[in-house]
A and B are shown apart, each in its own frame.
Chain A
Amino acid sequence: MTSALLEIAGLHAGYGSIRVLWGVDLAVRTGETAVLLGANGAGKTTLLKCLAGLLPARGGAIRWRGEDITRLPARVRVRRGLCHMSELGIFPDLTIAENLDLGALFVDRATARRRRAELYTLFPILAERRHAAAATLSGGQRKMLGIARALAAEPALLAMDEPSAGLSPKLVGTVIESLARCRAAGLALLIAEQNVRFLDLADTVFTLEGGRAAAALTPDAVRQDDRLRRAYFGMGM
C-alpha cells in the first residue's frame, strides 16, 4: 500500500456556534480518485473549504505528503499542488486566456505553454473563445474553464465541489470524460458529488453523514447497498 497523498484525521470545523464536522477521517493516495457522498448539509462543502484553507479547522489535522498543513494559508497549499475547483475559481472580468494564465502562475513558462495547448485540445470551446471575457461564458462553459484553470496549475490533487451541479446530462458526460483523462495522467481527485455517474471514476467512496466520514467503500459496494443508493441517489439507478 502506498502512503497517502492527502490525509485528513479527526477534522473538526464549523461556523460560529454551529459545528459541522465532528471528526472526519479520510485519505486519498497518489493518483487515486475519491468520491465524497453526502446529502445536502452533510458538510461536504465545509470539508472542502477546510482543505483549501478558506475555513480554519477547529481540531484534527490535514496532512499533505506526510506534512501537517492544517494551518497553512490557502495560497501556499495551491503552490504545493493541492488545488480546489469551484464556481469561485474564475475571474469574470478577465479573458479566458488570462484566466488560464492565472492558473499557471507558479508553473514555469515552457510547461505552462505546453499545458495550455493541452487544455485547449481538451476543451475546444475555450480555445475558440480565448479572448472573450469569462463573464460571457455559459454556466457549463464556466465549469469547463474552472476545471481547466485548476488543471493549468499542474496539481497533484484536485478537490472539486459538485462539478456536475447545474450541468445538463450531456455536459456532465463531458466533464466526467475530461476528468477520466486527467486521472489517467496521474492526477488524484477528491470529488464531492451527488450524481451517481461519478462513481465510475471512483477508486474509493467516502460517505459523509452527521459530520463524520464513514470508512472507505468501493464503488461496487455503494452500488450494491440499497440503503446507500436510496440515501444518495434516489431510487432511479
Chain B
Amino acid sequence: MWRDLGLVVLPLLAVLAVLPAVYDNGALLLNFVVFLVLAQGLNLTYGFSGYLPFGYVGFFGAGAYGFAMSVTLAGAPPLLGVLAGGGASLLVGLLLTPLLRLQGAYFGLASLAAAEALLHLIGNPNLQPVTGGPYGVKLQAGYAPLLTYALALAILALTMLLVAWLRHARFGLRLLAARDDALAAAMAGIDIVRGRLVIWLASALAAGLIGAVFAWRTATFFPDAVFDLNFSIFAIVFTLFGGAGTLAGPVFGVLLLYGLYNAIGLSAPQYFQLAYGVLIMLLALFFPEGLAGIARRIADG
C-alpha cells in the first residue's frame, strides 16, 4: 500500500501539481486529470467487480448536471455544487443497482441504454426551465481555473487512494474473489451483493464529482457534450490498455493514449485513428492484460 502510494500516486500528483506553473494550456491539463479520474473510476468497477459499464459517462453527465442545477436553480455556491454533482451521480448509481443482476455484455448494453435515457431526459425540450433542455447550460459560477484544477487533483487523489487501498485490504480481496467466482465467494462467507454495491457507488461518485468540476470549468455546455459516449469509450480503452485492477496501468493508459490523441488526434485525425486502432488491436491480441501484463511478464522473467 505505502509502496503504491510512494511509487505511483505521489509522483503523479506532484507532477500534475507543478505542471500548471510551466505549461500554460490549463484546459488540456484539466482534461488529462478528468480522464485519469474516469479511468481509475472505471477501474474500480471493472477491475474489482468485473462489471464494464459502457454507459459510465451517465455518471459524469449526472455530476455535471447536478452541479449546474444546484448552482442555477438553488443558487448553491460552486463548492457545494460539486458535492451536489457527486450526490446526483450516487442517486443515478442507486437507481441503476438492479442492472448489477445482469452480466457481461448485457450489463454493458443496459448501462449504455441507461446513460442514453438520462441524456434524453435531461435534453427534453419540455424540461427547459429546469435542465435547460437541448439548449444546454450557461453557468455564472465564476471562472476559477486554479481552484477547479486543485479540486480535480483532490478527486484524483481520493480515487487512486481507494484503488490502492482495495489492492491490499481484505475488502478488495473479497471483491476479487466475487469477481473470480461468485458462487465460491458466497461459500467463503462473502457478502457479494454488498461488495458490488459499494464499489459500484464509489465508481459512480468518482465520475460524478469530476463531472461537476468539469461543468464548473466549462461553464457553457450542451447535454450531449457531457453525455458524450466518447468519455465512456476513452475511459474503457485507457483502463484496458493500461491494465484493469492495477493502480499504475490506467495512469499509463491515459498518459500514452490521451497524449497520442492530443499530439496527432486533432491535427492528423486520419493517422491518429490508424495508429490508435493498430495499437489497441496489437495489445488486445498479444497482451490482453494491458501494459501492466507486459510489466508483470518482464518481472516474472
Contact = CB atoms under 8 A, between A and B. Distances in A.
A233 interface: no
Contact of B184 (A83, A91, A98): A91
Interface in B161-202: 170, 173-174, 176-177, 180-181, 183-192
Question: Secondary structure of the B side of the interface?
Answer: helix
Contact of A75 (B170, B181, B186): B186
Interface of B: 170, 173-174, 176-177, 180-181, 183-192
B184 A105 contact: no
A37 to B, nearest CB: 24
A105 B189 contact: yes
Interface of A: 52-54, 73-76, 78-79, 83-84, 88-94, 98, 101-103, 105-106, 149, 153
A87 B176 CA distance: 18
Contact of A106 (B187, B189, B192): B189
6 contacts: A52-B187, A73-B186, A89-B184, A94-B180, A98-B176, A105-B174
A93 B170 contact: no
B196 to A, nearest CB: 13
B170 to A, nearest CB: 6
A78 B189 contact: yes
Nearest to B171: A105
B191 A102 contact: no
A93 B293 CA distance: 14
B188 A78 contact: yes
B173 A102 contact: yes
A153 B180 contact: no
Given A88-B181, A92-B180, A93-B180, A102 B187 contact: no
Contact of A101 (B173, B181, B184, B189): B173
Contacts of A53: 186
B181 A91 contact: yes
B180 A75 contact: no
A92 B177 CA distance: 9
Nearest to A74: B186
A93 B65 CA distance: 40
A149 B180 contact: no
Contacts of A52: 187
